[in-house]
Structure formats: structure tokens, C-alpha cells
Amino acid sequence: MATWAIGDLQGCLDELQRLLEKINYDPASDALWFCGDLVNRGGQSLEVLRLLRTLGSQTVVTLGNHDLSLLAIAQRNEAEQAKVNPELGAILFAPDREELLHWLRHQSLLHHDENLRFTMIHAGMAPRWTLAQAQRAAREVERELRSPQHGRLLRSMFGNKPAVWSSRLKGVERMRASINVLTRLRYCDVRGRIAFGEKGVPGTQQAGLYPWYEVPGMLKRETRIVCGHWSTLGRFSGLGIYAIDTGCVWGGSLTALRLDAEDPYFVTIKSDRTPPAGREMD
């Protein structure tokens, strides 16, 4: 049995199928972890969701910002939903829409495996979070997303404020802050205040900002972390962090990380996609 973590798909089904062939994926015994941003921009988002939904209990997904955006759009009226790009529209007006959105809404924000000593998130963790605090923040959001009242959160979860997580936050503001950390964080200051506009490679950010995994004074990390979200960072391993968003949808590659190996290792396949027009790589 092997356990593999796979980077941001963003609707790239063809590359996923080639990667699964390359790692000799056996659905009867192997486990797959997907670090979020399953949908948008690659052209095959509906097909990606349909495939992942059939993979069974050994498949783990953590939600990314694009996945949450899809869920939020699904709360709008039909006329507003019809205005989205054709790729997301194919999901929103699919005959199995409700089954797919229900499945997506019941995925996690954070997954921790004590035996593998790995934690998977989409983007980052606040510099002063312990693992227990991160798990608690994720569970709070997950409970709301899975509840009959999920629409309340989905209609109000987006926004850049608060930009820093605090235990004093309550209600929707607390959950929005948790979502921003777990699905949008790249750079922050020493207090954990997120710099939402900074998306480049380390070294290009403004003074006083740090990649979330090397903020001065941050708590000692209690677990190895696998994450995506940051295609300009690319494949990275160090400081207990394994970053695996290698920009498949931008013409880069799709990456898998073998988690159960004594020394975790990467396997990649090259994408031959043309980057989405009119968009800056992030």
C-alpha cells in the first residue's frame, strides 16, 4: 500500500490520469491525498469531481480557495450562476450537480495522519498556531459547511478582513479568518497578518513579509506539512514543508509526493497546457 499526495489539479484530468499511471496507482490498496483547488481553469473540472467522488474512502481531499468559491457561487440565484465561466457552469448545471456539491462540501480543511506524521492543508498555517489549534479552526469551519445552515457561511466567507487570526474572533469573522489562513496564505508579517496581494517567489515580497513557513518567532512545527496553492513557489521541501503545487494548469507539471516512504519523494509529469489567457500565474 502506498500513500500519495497530489498537487493542485484545477480541472486537469488528463494530467491526473497520466500521473496515476506513472505511480502505478492501485485503487484496491493505495491512498490518495489531494491538497485542494480541484477545479477551475483547466477545462475538465466536472470530470475531475466525478472521478474523485468515485475513488472511495482511501481518498482524502482538503478544500482550496477555488473549491470554496465554487460552493459559494452555487448559493447564488440561477441567473447569477449562469454568468460564471463555462467550466464552472458545467458543474453548476450538471444533472449530478447536487451530488457533486454535497460531496465537495463534506471534504476537509485540514487532514492529519498521526502514523505518517503528515498534515495536509491547501495553503498555510498561522505562525502561532499549534497543530491542535489548527485542527480546531478547521473543524469549526467544516462543521458549518456540512450543516443545513451552510449557506450562511458560504454567502459571507470571502473578504480580506480580518487579515490576522485571533482566538478572540467570533462567529463568521472567526471562520473567515481561519479560511483565509488555510486556503489563501502565502506571505504574512511576524504577527500573522496576511499579505493577500503577494504571490511571487520568495525574495520578491515587500520588506517585513515572510513565507508563512519561516516567520521569525513562529512556534516549533509539530508535524510535517504537505500543501499546494503557491504555483510560483513550485516544488519545495525544507523546514518540514513539502509544497506540491507545480503549476499544472499554467503549463508546468503535476506532482505527487510519496508520503509513506522513509524518505518522501516526488514524482511529476509535464503538462503541455497553454496557460489560461489574461491571467497571472499565482
Per residue in 87-117, pLDDT (tens digit) is 999 999 999 999 999 999 999 999 999 999 9
As for how many domains the chain has, the answer is 1
Of 9, 241, 262, nearest in space to 119 by CA:
241
> What domain range includes position 132?
3-270
Res. 281: pLDDT tops 80: no
Q: What is the pLDDT of residue 282?
A: 77
Helix, strand, or coil here: 89? helix
Nearest alpha carbon to residue 185 among 251, 229, 141, 235: 229
Q: How does DSSP classify residue 194?
A: B
- 195/279 Cα distance (integer angstroms): 20
Q: What is the mean pLDDT of residues 43-48?
A: 98
Question: Which residues, other chains included, contact 61 with Cβ-Cβ below 8 Å and sequence gap of 6+?
Answer: 33, 34, 36, 38, 52, 107, 108
User: Collapsing DSSP states into helix, strand and coil, what is residue 105?
Assistant: helix
Question: Is 279 part of a structural domain of the chain?
Answer: no
CA-wise closest residue to 36 among 85, 109, 97, 88: 109
The confidence score (pLDDT) of residue 275 equals 83
Q: For 200-216, write each residue's pLDDT tens digit.
A: 999 999 999 999 999 99
Q: Is 116 a domain residue?
A: yes
Q: Round the CA-based radius of gyration of the chain to a whole number and report it.
A: 18
pLDDT band (50, 70, 90) for residue 274: confident
Q: Pick the residue with more confidence: 281 or 92? A: 92
Instruction: Identify whether 172 is part of a domain.
Output: yes
Look up the CATH number of the domain holding residue 250. 3.60.21.10
**pLDDT > 90 in the chain, percent:** 94
**79 in a domain, yes or no?**
yes
> What does each C-alpha distance from 147 to 37, 74, 106 come to in angstroms?
22, 16, 9
In-domain check, residue 281: no
Handedness of CA 56, 59, 61, 66 (dihedral sign): negative
49: in domain: yes
| Residue 56: predicted pLDDT | 83
In a domain, 277, yes or no: no
First to last CA, the chain: 34
pLDDT digits (tens, 9 = 90+) for 145-163: 999 999 999 999 999 999 9
Q: Compute the distance between CA of residue 221 and CA of residue 282 in angstroms, rounded to an integer.
A: 26
| Cell numbers describing residue 210 | 515572510
Q: Are 195 and 124 in contact (CB under 8 A)?
A: no
